[in-house]
Structure 1
């Protein structure tokens, strides 16, 4: 059941009466203590549609372009990092994306929750025994993206 908005000046029954009434808008506005714009709105909707509608926006704006969203999704698939770790890495080359934006991107792509198979990664093979002083690095190549200055260049992780 839909609830009436707490600040509403009219009820669904009054709205239906407004929609059916042939009286002028000014007379109805005075009778019910609302503006003439409110009277016009309920007349336009008709007697069948007298419930409050959601005020939620139908479409949220994206901070990220399609290419940036693809990068975030590809990083999630390739690394399997949790949200906070992924946000930390993404913030280095896409500083305008915060944790909420990264989560929304993952949720829209269906990657917000990792499956148990993705969480338990296979164990890595043993590294080659080297002398002390050698460091092993894994490099992930990312597509070309624009930074804050508008310069497009290839990046790596």
Structure 2
């Protein structure tokens, strides 16, 4: 089973992935990467006194990150670096705005994820897979310290039943 792990100094938080998707979309003048990964809220594998019990579910996302690819299939064998979770860009009115690329969300509270390294590959079944390593703000204490994390997931084809 594919997982999300946070390497907190006191314990490793392990989450199991419920659903995930990866898209490359064209927006205006560039292609952008969109990824969303949702954990289950299942914590049966967690000790009763674990810090993880206070953070039952996590969502990781990459939004609007410019890429030189036009489809997810072009990501296979590629690595993408996203050093900072946001950049400041000038909008069409000449004002500066923050554009957030990466995000980690616990119970509707968002945290910055920096030093992101995304590696894409195919598994034995031919599915696009992702190994994502990065650092997130310490969500347990609310401090500016960083907690390393690692995600491994497979983007399975979506099937619709009629």
Decide: shared fold, TM above 0.5. no
Give TM-score scaled by structure 1 length. 0.20
| Larger Rg over CA atoms | 1
TM-score using structure 2 length? 0.20
Higher relative contact order (CA 8 A, sep 6+): 2
Question: Higher helix proportion, which one?
Answer: 1
